[in-house]
Every structure is written in C-alpha cells, then in structure tokens.
Amino acid sequence: MSQTLQAIRGMNDILPADAERWEAFEELVRDWLTAYGYRPIRMPLVEPTPLFARAIGAVTDIVEKEMYSFTDSLNGEQLTLRPEGTASCVRAVLQHNLLYDGPKRLWYMGPMFRHERPQKGRYRQFHQFGIEALGLPGPDIDAEQIIMCARLWDDLGLNADGSIKLEINSLGQPEERAQHRSALITYLESHADQLDEEARRRLHTNPLRILDTKNPAMQALVEGAPKLMDYLGELSLKHFAGVQQLLKDAVIPYRINPRLVRGLDYYNLTVFEWVTEHLGAQGTVCAGGRYDGLVEQLGGKPAPACGFAMGIERLMALLEAQGDVPDEFAPDVYVVHQGHGNDGAQRLAFRAAELLRNNGFSVLTHMGGGSFKSQFKRADASGAQLAVIIGDDEAIANAVTLKPLRAAAEQQRVALDELADRVGDWLYGADEDNSEE
C-alpha cells in the first residue's frame, strides 16, 4: 500500500465536531456584527502580489517572508494567497466604488495564509474575521469597534475573569512618526553595540519594529528609547483622548502600551490589541486600528478607515479551554427498513424520510441493508430520539412503526400522513401550543 497523503504542515482539517463548534461561533458572530450595522463582503483568496507589497509594506514580516507567492504558469502573473483581509477589502471597495454614497461598514471571514513556523495558535492556513469601517474619521468609530469586541467577549462568555486585556496606543500621523523615527535611529545608532542582528538589519528599514523585540537582552535599550507619544501633535493627542473617553464611558479597562506598533505599515493614530495570558506565546486574539492612508495608497480618493481582525483558531482554543463542548450531533429520527421479495420497504422509507424533512426534522435513513438487529444498533448509536421502522407489513399498510429509543414507551403504528405530527408530539410534547399567536 502506498503511503497516505497528509495535509500541508500548518494547514489543518477541521473535523465535524469542531466544524460544528465553528459554525455555532460563526452564527453568533454574524448576529453580533449585524447588531452594529456591518455588512458582509467576500473577496478572492488569491490577489496580485503587488497589492500586499503596496498595502502592508515591503519591509514588514508578512511581505518579507510570510507570503505564499507564486507565478501563474499560464500567464506569468505574480500572485499571492492573501495573508490578511484589509488590503483585499480596500481593493474591492475601490474597484467597485463602494464609497460613492458615503461611509461603509464591512466584515469578512475566511482563511488567510502565512508561511510561519507552525506552533500552537500559529498556523500557515488560519482563519480570521475582520471588520473595516471606511469613510469615518473617528475617534467615535475607533471606540465603537473596541466596544464591539468587549461585547463579543461577553456574548461568548469569554471574559468574565477579565483575562482578555485591552492594550491601546496611538501611532500619530506619518509626519510625527517620521520625526520620531529619526530620533529613534539616532538613539539606536548611538547604542549600536547593544543591537541584535535583527535589530541591526531593521535599523534603517523599520526601526519602529525594533521596539517590538522579544529579545530580553534588548529590553533596557528599548525602555530608554524616544517615545512616539512625545512626538504627537495636538490633533493626534485629541483623537487619542477621544477614544479613551468613550472607552471610559463604556467602562472598558485598558492599558496604554507605547510599544504597541503593529507589524503592518498602514496604521496611523489608534492601534489596539486584545491579549490573553491563556494561550501562551500566541496571546493576541484581536488586533486593529486606524489606517487613514491606505485607501489613497491603493489609488483611491483619500478616505479615513479603521478596522480589526480576530484569529478564529485562537478564539476557538479559548472557548475550548473554558470547557465549551458542543452537543454531539444527533438526528431527530433514524429510519430502519427491511423488506423481503420487493423493495417496498425501502421506497416507503425514502418517502417517510423526505416527508419528515419537509416538516423540519433531521433524519438519517439507514443505508446499505442489514438485519433489523444491526440497523437498530446503528439507530441507537446515532443518538436519535426516535426510530421509524418499516417492514413488509408497514409497506403494505402504507404506515410506519414509531419507536422511542430513549424512553421506556411503547412503539406504535402510525399512518404515513400522521407521521410528522406524531414525531412532533414525541419531540416537543403533545400538549405544547406551537402556534405563533
């Protein structure tokens, strides 16, 4: 036998029990997004490579080393599996001129691809859902997006202990960052002997990112570095104060983290992350902020924008850690059937099953034959509440036998046209008034 093929490292199958948890999660997320007036958008998984270089920045981790890029062998185009959603979303907004009649609130959900070292909470195909609000200058919308996150933690029951913590910062405007940047380079150059290899490499390309280093040997150096906050002008400070006021009003605790810089170039003013200690090193569950320059950078008429993305794997891990196990899937009804001589029992089984589905019940019809005994074993194992039994007698009488599988009750013969009502009685109680008045 040849060796079985495996999925690509860092790309995971999501098996049925987990996929059901994901779907329940996605449903909740959709309701929550609707409550804030966000509408869905779906973008392609593959985009022209220059989109990401232009949007995310050529010297970021993502573009430098994490993208799955390839040449389309049919026409030579440079293509990339999307590493994040914001660039594609803004591209789509511009391509379809969605801002022509005012601001837009959009959300997306789906797989993203980054060639990183796979580990817990870090995969090569992972999933995000994200929101983008375009055309709104803030700081109200910035604050609302953060408040949204807090509501999601509540809806998911995830943050009763306050373990998902909010960190915010302001990156100011490009001119302010440029001034800070030259001060930072001067400072770092004067301490060149303390820089590690990566920092030395980034000194002139992306010095802000050095402040984000995880190297313990460089912590003291980083602590003493010029702070961007000291370079912010009046308007930037006012914007930041505006966000904070609304967070205080909403009673959302936060910490200002002056070293929160984000690994994507397009951010300005507000940036934020929600971080938990419960996931080890991969603790950021949500990250976002303002990116007022991106629309213009991608060729559009300037428009302010603000958004965030959440890592779904990390949220699912948190839900699982708190013991959220979904109900095992069980159909309402399992149809057992066996005939002799002709296929009347099987044909009635199919009719009965479709009739039940017409009435909204979930039904597993036994497939592949076998004795009644073996079929009942399957029925039991399926978790179904009821079995519908069809043999030769039933086939002749155009009726079925209804047998409760989880209660000590008699089985009963039921005419086909009463079947759905009887099943409903069994599952929901005969006396319950299901009418809408």
Residues forming the site for ligand ATP (CB under 6 A)? 84, 114, 116, 121-123, 126, 128, 263, 282, 284-287, 309, 311, 313-314
Looking at beta carbons only, is 51 or 355 nearer to ligand ATP?
51
Residue 435 tokens read as 């009418």
**To which H or E segment does residue 273 belong?**
strand 268-276
Phi, psi of 338 (to 5 degrees): -155, 130
Q: Are 270 and 138 in contact (CB under 8 A)?
A: yes
Residue 127: CB minimum distance to ligand ATP, A: 8
Residue 37 tokens read as 């007036």
Looking at beta carbons only, is 9 or 96 nearer to ligand ATP?
9
How far is 177 from 183, CA to CA, in rounded Å?
A: 10
Residue 83: CB minimum distance to ligand ATP, A: 8
Q: How many CA atoms lie within 13 A of 83 on its CB side?
A: 27
**Distance separating the N- and C-terminal Cα atoms of the chain:** 63
Residue 122: CB minimum distance to ligand ATP, A: 4
- Shortest Cβ contact with ligand ATP: which residue? 311
Q: Are 309 and 137 in contact (CB under 8 A)?
A: no
Looking at beta carbons only, is 114 or 177 nearer to ligand ATP?
114
List C-alpha distances in Å: 16 to 20, 320, 329, 331: 6, 15, 9, 14
Residue 429: CB minimum distance to ligand ATP, A: 44
Looking at beta carbons only, is 144 or 167 nearer to ligand ATP?
167
Residue 432: CB minimum distance to ligand ATP, A: 44
Strands (E) in 319-377, as ranges, are: 333-337, 363-365
Looking at beta carbons only, is 38 or 266 nearer to ligand ATP?
266
Looking at beta carbons only, is 260 or 379 nearer to ligand ATP?
260
DSSP, collapsed to helix, strand or coil, labels residue 410 as coil
Q: Is the dihedral of CA 114, 97, 306, 29 positive or negative?
A: negative
Alpha helix (H) ranges present in 36-173? 49-56, 61, 86-95, 140-156
Residue 28: CB minimum distance to ligand ATP, A: 17
Q: Are 333 and 361 in contact (CB under 8 A)?
A: yes
Looking at beta carbons only, is 228 or 356 nearer to ligand ATP?
228
Looking at beta carbons only, is 188 or 309 nearer to ligand ATP?
309
Q: Is the dihedral of CA 239, 86, 103, 141 positive or negative?
A: negative
Residue 230: CB minimum distance to ligand ATP, A: 25
Residue 165: CB minimum distance to ligand ATP, A: 13
Phi, psi of 427 (to 5 degrees): -80, -35
